[in-house]
Amino acid sequence: MITPEDLIALVRNYNPKTNAGKIAEAFAYGEEMHDGQFRHSGEPYFTHPVAVAALLTEQRLDDATIITALLHDTIEDTKASYEEVAHRFGDEVAELVDGVTKLTNLQLSSRETKQAENFRKLFMAMSKDLRVILVKLADRLHNMRTIKAMRPEKQAQKARETMDIYAPLAGRMGMQWMREELEDLAFKVLNAEGRQSIIRRFVTLQRETGDVIHRITGDMRIELEKAGIEAEVFGRAKKPYSIWRKMQAKDQGFSRLSDIYGFRVITQSEEDSYRALGAIHQRWRAVPGRFKDYISQPKSNGYRSIHTTVSGRDGKRVEVQIRTRQMHDVAETGVAAHWSYRDGVRTQNPFAVDPAKWIASLTEQFDAEEDHDEFLEAVKLEMYSDQVFCFTPKGDVTKLPKGATPIDFAYAIHTRIGHACVGAKIDGIRVPLWTRIRNGQSVEVITAEGQMPQVSWLEIATTGKARTAIRRALREADRARFVKLGRELARSAFEHVDRKATDKTLETAARALRINSVNELLASLGAAEITAHDVVQSVYPELTSQEGDVISPRRAVIGLEAGQSFERAPCCQPLPGERIIGITYRGRGVVVHAADCDKLSEFDSQPERWVDVHWDSGTHAAAYGITLDLTIGNDAGVLGRICTLIGEKKANISDLEFVDRKPDFYRLRVNVELRDVEQLHSLMLTLEAESDVAEVARFRERPETRSVSE
């Protein structure tokens, strides 16, 4: 195990002014707290926090972060308390240790709905102090390096969590080296055979071609020296997982994969970076479409570099990254560069992103998401996306995820522009809104007054910001419509029991149903989240209970065997008074169809499943739902009148869905609860007589068309 002196020496390499006494004290305290605890490998447990601290010294982090690494498991796994850590090492360290403890307890790989809430907590912890996640990532890296000591099922779970969450997060923070190593360690667990296959092919390739990396780096150094450019050149083979991912994405075998080698050119200045690019392109042929300039268009996490792919020796493609030393430091450590020390002072790297601003931009769009699934979708879109750079008509650069559309571009400019978008031009040519934007294109948004977001935009938009804004606008528009519809439904339902839907009555109903306000109650009613029957029953339960000599729905059908249950077929929704046929189902009892239901033909070859049943001839409760297909005029007050007519016929509306909206007509489906077929006929006659009703029909599902071969 690394000794306290070794660890302090590692810190002194970049921070001679380190508080060695505090680090030594934290080392001794952590060792004492973890005394008697062991890892799965049998090593003393404290070897793990020490290794995490050593990893963080590679990123030249401050004393508080190093001490946090030494103590990061003390509050969770030992008798140490927050108060004691704060007393010994200060509030800053205690807050960081507490933050890491909370992250450790989050089940980020859970498949339950709490996963979204845990991600929300993760981003909240990051927003307080990003060093918390730096310690957690180093903790995960060391755990993955020593994962062999765990049980196989635990290895698989940790590897999947690493691949899905921690590796992309490290990449999003600009720590590419850590992302690559985490991915490769997880790949080794999840697909050991695939990884070994890649390594074997590498060995074979090196035998056939020799040391390609040494030859190409030598050639590059010669070209740069000729051009008078002072630079360092490094080459490497890409990690097995990176190659595997390329093979899967491009559906190519290893032998056809071109860019399996990567080279870095580290220059003294930005000007030299562009000169180096010129020298390399003069010597080797550039591959079209494989050039990205992240120096003039940096990534949001501070990453700057020139990327190009050239055809090297024997036509082999190689990827080259060119950047300055300061840019390279940020490329290696990402946002961690903000805390880096050199010679005892905080490094003033001009390319390091302020973590407060970075995390604010990352979490801004998530704060507005109310739905768990939508929040999780936004997180993953943000974490897993690559970027493209495009221009406004004025020449300003806008960064968007790969695959973004003009809708995303419009919302990136301003939410108001997004809402009003009716079209777009790319490089001066009118294009559909679903067009994918490519690097370097100029995008112009065409807007119009009165335009509002469309539901179809959710399928077009790819950014979390755009989707969040669209959903919010749609919810607000729907809410106003649902409140209006809910008021009509409530009025009709209360009139059905000879009562008025006054504000006081609705307030009482909202309280009884534990809904915050009358408007929320009406919106829920209009959106069919609750039924009008529920609302009336919450205030007048005695008026909605089934009284008199009525038949219980359980006893409504005659012809069933003792203990046999039935249910109405959703395809035809039979009502009392109609001829019916029963079809037996294993585990479901008997499903009752109307005698003229088209789906009965599917059972012609199975007569043993047919049951002769009929409705009891007594009085039935109004508890049988059927669906009406209505086409009505798009005029003020029409929908309200329709709801009133239905209520006057003593029918209860349980749900309503708009199927199609045209400028002059609406087509909708209305679920109503009826007593029997006579009440249905009476209701349909009344609706047909209404001048604003163009069509009314009983909605029934049709069987799927089958081919002759079936």
Considering the candidates 25, 43, 58, 77, report the single residue annotated as catalytic.
Answer: 77
pLDDT of residue 9: 93
Question: Is pLDDT larger for residue 506 or for residue 588?
Answer: 506
pLDDT of residue 138: 93
Considering the candidates 25, 76, 507, 676, report the single residue annotated as catalytic.
Answer: 76
Domains of the chain: 4-190 (1.10.3210.10), 194-346 (3.30.460.10), 553-615 (no CATH), 622-710 (3.30.70.260)
* Rounded Cα gap, residues 80 and 83, in angstroms: 8
Distances (CA, A) of 42 to 34, 150, 155: 14, 11, 17
- Bridge partner list, 262: 236, 319
pLDDT per position as a tens digit, 415-454: 889 998 988 999 888 888 888 888 778 899 999 887 888 8
pLDDT per position as a tens digit, 187-202: 999 888 888 888 888 7
Tokens of 185: 């360690």
Average pLDDT of every residue of the chain: 82
pLDDT of residue 110: 53
pLDDT of residue 269: 94
Compute CA 218 distance to the chain's CA centroid, rounded to the nearest angstrom.
Answer: 45
DSSP secondary structure, 255-267, as one string: GG----EEEEEEE
pLDDT score of 546 more than 50? no
* Rounded Cα gap, residues 629 and 404, in angstroms: 39
pLDDT of residue 112: 46
pLDDT per position as a tens digit, 606-661: 888 888 888 876 655 556 889 999 998 887 778 888 888 888 887 888 888 888 87
pLDDT of residue 227: 92
Parallel/antiparallel/unpaired status of strands 341-342 and 292-293 = unpaired
Question: What is the 3-state secondary structure of 340-367?
Answer: CEECCEECCCCCCCCHHHHHHHHHHHHH
pLDDT of residue 233: 94
Tokens of 654: 């349980």
pLDDT band at 252 (very low <50, low <70, confident <90, very high): low
Question: Is pLDDT larger for residue 165 or for residue 21?
Answer: 21
pLDDT of residue 323: 95
pLDDT of residue 259: 61
- Non-local CB neighbours of 208 within 8 Å, separated by 6+ positions: none
pLDDT per position as a tens digit, 471-491: 888 877 777 778 888 888 888
- Percent of the chain beyond pLDDT 90? 22
Any idea which of 32-41, 241-250, 301-310, 479-488 has the lowest mean pLDDT? 241-250
Asked if 91 is an active-site residue, the reply is: no
pLDDT of residue 552: 55
Q: Do 145 and 186 meet the contact criterion of CB atoms below 8 Å apart?
A: no
Give the count of beta carbons closer than 10 Å to the beta carbon of residue 558.
Answer: 11
- Bridge partner list, 631: 667, 695
pLDDT band at 397 (very low <50, low <70, confident <90, very high): confident
pLDDT score of 251 more than 60? no
**Segment of 206-220, 250-264, 405-419, 556-570 carrying the highest mean pLDDT:** 405-419
Asked if 77 is an active-site residue, the reply is: yes
